[in-house]
Amino acid sequence: MPRAAHLPRDAHLPRDAHLPRDVKQPRAADLPRIPPAPAVPPTGWIDRISLAIGAQRGPQAGDLALTRHRVYILPTRAGLLFGGVLLTMLLTAINYSLSLGYALTFLLAGVGLVSMLHTWRNLVGLTLRAGRADPVHAGELADLGLLVHNPGTLERFAIELTVPGTAQPQRVDVAPRAEQMVGIALPTTRRGWMAVPRIKLATTFPLGLWRAWAWWHPSTRVLVLPRLETPAAPLPAASALSGDVASGGQGEEDFAAIRPWRSGDARNRIAWKAMARTDSETLLTKQFEGGFSGELWLDWRALPAGLDPEDRLSRLARWVCDADAIGARYGLWMPGRTLETDAGAAHRAACLEALALAGA
């Protein structure tokens, strides 16, 4: 990981930055502040009540064991209808003195009560663990891995994991004494650290007459990078390694290989012909080597004066991805922080993280 130097506003100017003397030097305070993320409240009044009376209301670090005090259960709409039918059958049996009516009513009532026990036991005893999510750009879906561990001898069926703001829950079955990894897609809208919202685990197994549920708020967060500028602006001119000659940009590279497309790759490098020949549904991109003999400075001050601060961050993020795609050595200057010229995945991650947390 390259070392980020925190320099005064007048120190360490890039060699190829020729700015007018009357241009006001930006300060770290000029960076846009990251607004707080709005909380997504539960939709139903039952969920709000269960959260209000729950023992754990804030984020919880580490594993979470679903004890009997954390699992709630209520009849579903089908269960309420089933109860109404049983009441009607009981009144009919009483009115007409039907012995078989009594037997059938009490038999079905016993089945409903036993199914309540099975529904409740389908959640109790599970252990939950939050994984990690790779950084994504704003507007993309963050894939958060969740581990569901079943330490008991009973198999757990049809467990739904729901996140506020997503329409489709994830369903999973967990074998006895086994672990199951579940991927949850989290929508992102703003850059910076995004806390993982509360996750609801629910089940209606086996008959759908009862719904048991529990809330889990893991103490995990996801780094959301700035939105990439589209269409991408051309990279700034590169300076020669000697510092005396300026080159006109990316140069000509030698074709090296075909690899799967990654987020941040330039769209003009997508290998359409290779995809057509292989009939592949996965995006492929061309990888080049060599041909770049200079270094780039991605400078906040060199951007157009009328560009919005968030748009500046989006353009710099796009330039970081494009410079990394061609294997260039590049540095980043932004108010209050400078990252020296370097190359590689670690340098790319450091630059994007600095842009994501600007103004935090």
DSSP 93-138: HHHHT-HHHHHHHHHHHHHHHHHHHHHHHTTTT-EEEE-----EET
Q: With respect to residue 93, please indicate whether it lies within any of the assigned structural domains.
A: no
pLDDT reported for residue 242: 37
pLDDT reported for residue 348: 94
CB 105 within 8 A of CB 82: no
pLDDT reported for residue 325: 87
CATH of the domain at 196: 2.60.40.10
Q: Does 186 lie in the same domain as 128?
A: yes
**Parallel/antiparallel/unpaired status of strands 294-299 and 329-334:** parallel
Q: Does 145 lie in the same domain as 169?
A: yes
Which of the listed residues 207, 225, 243 is the one where a domain comes to its end? 225
Q: Does 247 lie in the same domain as 205?
A: no
CB 248 within 8 A of CB 234: no
Q: Does 236 lie in the same domain as 166?
A: no
Q: With respect to residue 88, please indicate whether it lies within any of the assigned structural domains.
A: no
Q: CA 267, 270, 275 angle in degrees (round to 5)?
A: 150
Q: With respect to residue 195, please indicate whether it lies within any of the assigned structural domains.
A: yes
pLDDT reported for residue 115: 96
**How many structural domains does the chain have?**
2
DSSP secondary structure of 212-234: EEEEE-BS-EEEEEPPPPSSPPP
Q: Which domain holds residue 58?
A: 45-73+123-225
Q: Does 195 lie in the same domain as 62?
A: yes
Q: Does 239 lie in the same domain as 153?
A: no
Copy the structure tokens of residue 203. Answer: 């089940």
Q: With respect to residue 148, please indicate whether it lies within any of the assigned structural domains.
A: yes
Q: What is the pTM of this model?
A: 0.71
pLDDT reported for residue 15: 46
Q: Does 238 lie in the same domain as 172?
A: no
Q: Does 342 lie in the same domain as 327?
A: yes
Q: With respect to residue 206, please indicate whether it lies within any of the assigned structural domains.
A: yes
Quote the CA–CA distance of 354 and 168 in Å, as a whole number.
33
The residues of the chain scoring below 70 in pLDDT are 1-57, 165, 167, 238-257, 262-268, 279-280, 287-294
Q: With respect to residue 100, please indicate whether it lies within any of the assigned structural domains.
A: no
pLDDT reported for residue 278: 73
Q: With respect to residue 262, please indicate whether it lies within any of the assigned structural domains.
A: no
For 51-57, which contacts have Cβ atoms below 8 Å and span 24 or more sequence positions? Answer: 51/198, 51/215, 54/215, 56/215, 56/217, 57/217
Q: Does 192 lie in the same domain as 53?
A: yes
Q: With respect to residue 243, please indicate whether it lies within any of the assigned structural domains.
A: yes
Q: Which H helix or E strand runs over 321?
A: helix 309-325
Mapped onto helix, strand or coil, the DSSP state of residue 174 is: strand
Q: Does 233 lie in the same domain as 130?
A: no
Q: Does 187 lie in the same domain as 151?
A: yes
